[in-house]
Amino acid sequence: MVTSYQLRNEQKYYTLSGKGLTLYENDTPIEFLSLGQWLIERDSYNHIKELSFFKKFKRWKFMRMWKKTIKHQNRMKAQNALEEKLFMLQDHFSVHLMNHRALMLDMEELRFVDSLKNGDTKDIVTFTEGQKDRRKEIAQSIVKVSERSRDNVFECISKVMHELRERIVTEITLDEERKKNNPI
C-alpha cells in the first residue's frame, strides 16, 4: 500500500526510488535492492507464477489436506471400533481377564475322582471313603476359587465404574467452566 512518509508504519516499510528498493525496520535501512535487480526478480516471479504447478497449487494443497483429514478420521473410527471390540487390550480389563483365566485353569485341574497312584489297589470300602473325602476337598476348593473369581470380577467392575465416575465428574466441571468463561 502506498502512503505518505508521515503515515508509514515505522516498524517495517519499503521505499522505492530511481536507484532501487530499500527495506527499513525501526527507521533503519536493512536491505537494498537495485531497481534493475528488482525488475528482474519481479519478471521472474511473474513468469514462475504462470507455471501450471503454481496455478494449481492452492487446489492441490486443499485437496491433499482434505484427503489427509478424511483418512485420519477413518483411521480414528477404525481404531475406536477395534478398541471397543478388543477390550482385552484395555488396561483395566486385561489384568482381570488374565486372573480369571488363571483361576478357571486352576479349577479345571481339580479332579473329583482320585486316581490310583503307583498301581496301588484298594478295596471298595477304602476307595469309597477316600472318594467321599476327595469330593469334600474338591467342593471346598471350588468354593474358594469361585469366591476369588467373584472378587476379581467385582474388583474389575469397581475400577471401571470408578473411572467412569471420574470422567463424568470431569466433563461436568469442564462444562461448568465453559459456561462461566463463555456464557453464549
pLDDT digits (tens, 9 = 90+) for 32-60: 999 889 889 889 999 988 888 888 888 88
Low-confidence ranges of the chain (pLDDT < 70): 87, 89, 114-119, 184
Q: How far is 92 from 161, CA to CA, in rounded Å?
A: 11
Residue length of the chain: 184
- Helix, strand, coil distribution of the chain in percent, nearest 5: 70, 10, 20
The rounded percent of the chain whose pLDDT value lies above 70 is: 93
d(CA 127, CA 27): 110
Nine-digit cell string for 39: 525488475
Contact predicate 153/92, CB 8 Å: no
Show me where the domains of the chain are located: 7-50, 87-181
pTM of the model: 0.44
